[in-house]
Amino acid sequence: MIRHRRYFVPTMLAFGFAFLYVPILSMIVYSFNNSRLVTVWDSAHSPTLKWYTLLFQNAQIMSAARLSLGIATLNACISVVLGTLAGLALVRFGRFKGRTLLGAMTAAPLVMPEIITGLSMLMLFVAMERLIGWPAGRGITTITIAHVTFSMAYVTVIIQSRLANFDESLEEAAMDLGARPHIVFFRITLPLIMPAIVSGWLLSFTLSWDDVVISQFAAGPSSTTLPMVIFSKVRLGVSPDVNALATLMVLIVACGVVASAFWVRASERRRAREMQLVNP
Residue ranges in 84-113 that form contacts with other proteins under rule CB under 8 A: 85-86, 89, 98, 102-109, 111-113
Q: Which of 186, 256, 266, 269 binds other proteins (CB under 8 A)?
A: 256
In sequence order, which residues have a C-beta less than 8 Å from that of residue 152 and are 6 or more positions away?
78, 79, 82, 83, 86, 106, 204
Near other proteins by CB under 8 A, which window of 6-14, 131-139, 168-176, 183-191? 6-14
Residues 141-180 that bind other proteins (CB under 8 A): 145-146, 148-149, 152-153, 160, 164-165
Q: Please identify, using beta-carbon distances, which residue of 174 and 197 lies nearer to other proteins.
A: 197
Which among 189, 192, 194, 160 is positioned nearest to 180, based on CA atoms?
189
Q: Please identify, using beta-carbon distances, which residue of 174 and 205 lies nearer to other proteins.
A: 205
**Shortest distance, position 89 Cβ to other proteins, whole Å:** 7
Report how far residue 137's alpha carbon sits from residue 125's, in angstroms, rounded to the nearest whole number: 9
Residues 37-76 that bind other proteins (CB under 8 A): 37-40
Q: Please identify, using beta-carbon distances, which residue of 18 and 183 lies nearer to other proteins.
A: 18
Decide if 264 contacts 198 (C-beta within 8 A).
Answer: yes
Q: Please identify, using beta-carbon distances, which residue of 172 and 268 lies nearer to other proteins.
A: 268
Q: Which of 2, 177, 277, 278 binds other proteins (CB under 8 A)?
A: 2
What is the DSSP track for 176-201? Answer: HTT--HHHHIIIIIHHHHHHHHHHHH
Near other proteins by CB under 8 A, which window of 176-184, 185-193, 254-262, 266-274? 254-262
Report how far residue 6's alpha carbon sits from residue 3's, in angstroms, rounded to the nearest whole number: 5
Near other proteins by CB under 8 A, which window of 17-25, 51-59, 171-179, 268-276? 17-25
Q: Please identify, using beta-carbon distances, which residue of 188 and 213 lies nearer to other proteins.
A: 213
| 120 near other proteins, rule: CB under 8 A | yes
Report how far residue 153's alpha carbon sits from residue 200's, in angstroms, rounded to the nearest whole number: 10
Report how far residue 65's alpha carbon sits from residue 230's, in angstroms, rounded to the nearest whole number: 10
Report how far residue 61's alpha carbon sits from residue 22's, in angstroms, rounded to the nearest whole number: 26
